[in-house]
């Protein structure tokens, strides 16, 4: 159905993949893998109603990995001609010949490969002209300006459209691929004047353009967020509960993934080293990975190596049940791949204690008095020790009611302690990328201010 969107069909990409593997065998490679992709997209940005940029892209590429025993080489090309395929394979093979042997190198175990991938319906091409995309962005930004005269400026509104497809194959007989899409609408209004300006943003992203948020609603909400931050104050240094708004709570989930990923573990650069089977969260916390959600942003029938993916409980009753491993990192650790070459898939954190009343306002009431964090700055996470320190802004809350905006503060703690101190997860669930979570309440953190 989607082949007509692209220059090449899936069958043509599969034939190219088989040609590459045949050339690799002729060249002397003991094993080989290849990924071939093609895509097209449109990106437009308007600012204060005027067009700033219109970009259209049409990309294609081939990545070839060859093995000479336990030696590995890789090369890329965007030229699909036969001569280019041969030159690329030979370049990868020559790299492999002069690379040191690595006992963990090699293709995945054949019995782990996905031989019959299911259709997860991941591609919804958006046939939209640049003119129509500009109109949508203008509507979104205009709605932000219309909220209040104090919305004085804008960093712009953007529409991003992308549809691609790929085929991956290796010398063990695996050969599969699928089309996919991702579309986004965003806006970033600025409220106030001079030294008292505040900005905020909001966006909607989906594989299916029909599931994108309404442009006017996105614009209005982004403006309301910027306006709410005006007249922000500083806080005195203190220790108090901290509620991470759902978009930022997804970042906590991302920190968990990084700390339990194979690369960090075999390099011994993770604060969750040797934590398998340990209670790293309170007993009410569950984290589930579901790669097979129909139309999910993080859905995939197989990972980047062709290994089949599977639904699993990564954390059950607070106990870590599994890492995020590729074939290479699994071998380095003496374990088996979890089908996570390329990262996690549709991860969701929930609490068994979450109630219907635990929406955003309910989570504020649960916190009582403390800090609601809505923006973080800097990269202040030490994944070796777990030490966490980030610039932040948000709102001071008393008796479950927002009192005033705050800025120029730092929140600090240790990720191990923060994970254990999760009091609750709201039902105000938001999906950001391939992670879904409601707002997350931490029992206490250090707030550094005046």
pLDDT at 3: 60
Say whether both 362 and 428 belong to one domain. yes
CA nearest to 390, candidates 405, 375, 403, 400: 375
Please tell me the distance from the alpha carbon of residue 128 to that of residue 104, in angstroms, as a whole number.
46
Say whether both 177 and 310 belong to one domain. no
As for how many domains the chain has, the answer is: 2
The pLDDT tens digits for 392-444 are: 999 999 999 999 999 999 999 999 999 999 999 999 999 998 999 999 999 99
37 pLDDT exceeds 70? yes
Handedness of CA 98, 99, 103, 108 (dihedral sign): negative
211 pLDDT exceeds 50? yes
Please tell me the distance from the alpha carbon of residue 22 to that of residue 420, in angstroms, as a whole number.
52
Count of Cβ atoms closer than 10 Å to residue 54 Cβ? 14
Q: Is 246 left (phi over 0), alpha (psi -120 to 50) or beta?
A: alpha
Say whether both 202 and 242 belong to one domain. no
pLDDT at 1: 47
Please tell me the distance from the alpha carbon of residue 239 to that of residue 427, in angstroms, as a whole number.
26
With beta carbons less than 8 A apart as the criterion, state whether 324 and 260 touch: yes
Please tell me the distance from the alpha carbon of residue 296 to that of residue 44, in angstroms, as a whole number.
25
pLDDT at 380: 82
Share of the chain above pLDDT 70, in %: 99
Say whether both 24 and 44 belong to one domain. yes
Print the domain residue range for 412: 238-448
Say whether both 207 and 256 belong to one domain. no
Q: Would residue 233 count as lying in a domain?
A: no
Please tell me the distance from the alpha carbon of residue 250 to that of residue 253, in angstroms, as a whole number.
5
**Strands 238-244 vs 370-377: parallel, antiparallel or unpaired:** parallel
Q: What CATH number is given to the structural domain containing 157?
A: 3.30.2290.10
**Strands 435-437 vs 347-351: parallel, antiparallel or unpaired:** parallel
Among candidate residues 170, 198, 228, the one where a domain is terminated? 228
Say whether both 208 and 132 belong to one domain. yes
CA nearest to 27, candidates 66, 64, 61, 63: 66
pTM of the model: 0.93
Q: Calculate the average pLDDT of the chain.
A: 96
**Helix, strand, or coil (residue 257):** helix
Say whether both 152 and 253 belong to one domain. no
Q: Give, for 162, the enclosing helix (H) or strand (E).
A: strand 151-170
Q: Give, for 412, the enclosing helix (H) or strand (E).
A: strand 401-414
Q: Would residue 169 count as lying in a domain?
A: yes
Q: Would residue 294 count as lying in a domain?
A: yes
DSSP state of 233: B
The residues pairing with 43 across neighbouring beta strands, listed in sequence order, are 55, 160
pLDDT at 321: 98
Burial class of residue 419 in the structure, from the number of CB atoms within 10 Å of its CB (0-12 exposed, 13-18 middle, 19+ buried): buried
Say whether both 261 and 294 belong to one domain. yes
Q: Give, for 140, the enclosing helix (H) or strand (E).
A: helix 130-147
Among candidate residues 228, 249, 278, the one where a domain is terminated? 228
Q: What is the mean pLDDT of residues 145-165?
A: 97
Say whether both 243 and 208 belong to one domain. no
Count of Cβ atoms closer than 10 Å to residue 268 Cβ? 9
Say whether both 184 and 288 belong to one domain. no
With beta carbons less than 8 A apart as the criterion, state whether 313 and 288 touch: yes
Q: Would residue 254 count as lying in a domain?
A: yes
Q: Would residue 411 count as lying in a domain?
A: yes
Among candidate residues 208, 228, 248, the one where a domain is terminated? 228
Say whether both 199 and 269 belong to one domain. no
Say whether both 223 and 287 belong to one domain. no
């Amino acid at each position: 159905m989607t082949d007509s969107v692209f220059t090449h069909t899936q069958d043509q990409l599969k034939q190219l993949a088989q040609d590459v593997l045949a050339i690799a065998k002729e060249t002397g490679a003991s094993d080989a893998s290849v990924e071939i992709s093609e895509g097209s997209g449109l990106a437009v940005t308007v600012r204060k109603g005027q067009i700033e940029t219109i970009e259209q892209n049409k990309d294609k590429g081939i990545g070839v990995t060859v093995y000479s025993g336990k030696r590995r080489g890789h090369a890329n090309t965007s030229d699909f001609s036969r001569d280019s395929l041969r030159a690329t394979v030979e370049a990868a093979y020559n790299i492999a010949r002069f690379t040191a042997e690595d006992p963990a190198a090699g293709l995945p175990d054949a019995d782990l490969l996905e031989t019959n991938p299911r259709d997860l319906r991941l591609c919804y091409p958006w046939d939209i002209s640049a003119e129509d995309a500009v109109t949508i962005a203008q509507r979104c930004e205009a709605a932000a300006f219309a909220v209040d005269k104090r919305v004085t400026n804008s960093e712009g509104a953007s529409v991003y459209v992308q549809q691609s497809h790929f085929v991956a194959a290796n010398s063990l007989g695996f050969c599969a691929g699928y089309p996919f899409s991702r579309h986004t609408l965003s806006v970033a209004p600025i409220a106030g004047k001079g030294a008292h300006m505040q900005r905020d943003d909001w966006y909607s992203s989906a594989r299916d353009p029909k599931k994108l948020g309404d442009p006017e609603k996105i614009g209005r909400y982004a403006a309301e967020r910027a306006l709410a931050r005006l007249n922000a104050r500083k806080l005195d240094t203190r220790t108090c509960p901290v509620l991470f708004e759902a978009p930022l709570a997804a970042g906590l989930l991302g920190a968990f993934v990084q700390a339990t990923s194979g690369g960090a573990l075999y390099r011994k650069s993770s604060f969750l080293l040797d934590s398998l089977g340990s209670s790293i969260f309170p007993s009410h916390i569950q984290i589930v990975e579901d790669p097979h959600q129909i139309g999910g942003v993080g859905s995939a029938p197989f990972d980047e190596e062709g290994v089949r993916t599977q639904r699993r409980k990564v954390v059950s009753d607070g106990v870590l049940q599994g890492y995020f491993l590729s074939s290479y990192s699994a071998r380095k650790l003496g374990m088996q791949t979890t089908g996570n070459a390329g990262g996690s898939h549709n991860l969701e954190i929930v609490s068994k204690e979450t109630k219907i009343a635990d929406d955003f306002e309910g989570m504020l009431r649960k916190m009582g008095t403390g800090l609601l964090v809505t923006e973080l700055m800097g990269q202040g996470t030490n994944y070796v020790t777990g030490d966490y320190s980030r610039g932040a802004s948000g709102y001071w809350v008393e008796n479950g009611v927002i009192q005033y905006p705050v800025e120029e503060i730092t929140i600090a703690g240790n990720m191990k302690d923060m994970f254990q101190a999760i009091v609750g997860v709201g039902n105000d669930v938001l999906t950001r990328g391939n992670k879904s979570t409601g707002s997350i309440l931490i029992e206490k953190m250090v707030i550094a201010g005046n």
